[in-house]
Amino acid sequence: MKNLTLFIAGVLFSATLFAQSNLEKVFKDGYNISGVYHLSKTVTIYDQSVTQVNFEFLEGSNKLNVYYDASSSPFYIETNSTFKRYYQTCGVFFENASNPFGGRLMQLEEGVFIALAGESNAYVSNGNCDNFVFKDPNNEIVILGKNKDRVKEIAENSDLLKKLTEESAIRYCQALKCVLAGKYPFPDPGMKDAKLSAEALVVVQAHATTAGWTQKIEYCYIKNKEWTIITDKATGAIKGRTIRMIAVMKNANGACQWEEVEVKQDYNGSAYGKTYYSGNTQAIITIDCAEAMKHK
């Protein structure tokens, strides 16, 4: 790796000007992130060969200063705005979403991080957070740890490296789903129609089977307060009607989820026809199972 950007997988994006500092200075924070970290390989930073760095985590601003020699100003990495919420759920993840590399510095365990060369190398590939892809464990990766022996152990054991990275990536995926759940709360029921809800369950289950969904659809309820009437743009004649439903499901691991789906009925000039599935948002939100089943 030729520069610091590669060293921490594209998550470094700027430099801050601080008073003189060095690798020996002791930094502390409430999350035990700060401290000296040994690197799994020597990296070159501005023509300097670097084998360790000093982290200074600033809790107030969610920024991580990275000191790489005795006198230079540090580079810094920003966490996302929901750092504390992520930390409570799954550990520490530093990233810069605007960085073109999509890089990430992920915590494998307390005192150990991995710098990945972008999400294209290691990622969770589906909405259930259970299908992990690690294309090349040796591609542009640096292990950083407070314990030099532990860094060496992880770096030299590809199975252990993959296991820890997989667990970390899945925790990160699950944390993102928690954040989504906060942005999109479980909807209250709209119109009451037990017959329509039962019909929707049948057609959504049939679609899920045909489409190969891994979730089991538990029940459906109506989100909208009324139907949306579809008319012919030229004549104004009624062509059918649609309504939004909430499909509540469980994935293969037993976690409860919900997704907004749509069902439709065509109109033949005198009556509406059978209910059929017409689409879904593809935004699957994880939810506590007790909460998920309250409208069943």
pLDDT in tens, 32-73: 888 999 988 887 766 778 888 888 888 777 677 778 776 656
- 211-222 pLDDT, tens per residue? 888 899 999 999
Rg (CA), the chain: 25
**pLDDT value of residue 13:** 29
Nearest Cα to 272, choosing from 280, 264, 282, 281?
264
User: Rounded mean pLDDT of 145-160?
Assistant: 93
**Residue entry with tokens 């309820």:** 221
Top-ranked range on mean pLDDT: pick from 28-37, 95-104, 235-244, 286-295: 235-244
**CA distances, 96 to each of 43, 77, 101 (Å):** 21, 7, 9
DSSP bridge partners of 260: 246
Say what the alpha-carbon torsion angle 22, 28, 33, 38 is, to the nearest 10 degrees: 40
Backbone angles phi, psi at 35, to 5 degrees: 140, 175
Q: What's the angle, vertex CA 84, arms to CA 91 and CA 282, rounded to 5?
A: 80
**Residue entry with tokens 């601003």:** 61
Helix runs in the chain, H state only: 4-7, 83-90, 148-155, 158-183, 194-211, 289-292
Model confidence at 180, in pLDDT bands (50, 70, 90)?
A: low
Packing angle of the helix pair 83-90, 158-183 (nearest 10 deg): 130
pTM, entire model:
0.54
Nearest Cα to 227, choosing from 186, 293, 269, 278?
278
Output 251 or 231, whichever has higher pLDDT: 231
**Per-residue pLDDT for 256 more than 50?**
yes
DSSP bridge partners of 285: 258
Reduced to 3 states (helix: H, G, I; strand: E, B; else coil), residue 155 is helix
Backbone angles phi, psi at 136, to 5 degrees: -150, 95
Bridging pattern class, strands 276-280 and 285-287? unpaired
Confirm if 143 and 151 have CB atoms less than 8 A apart: yes
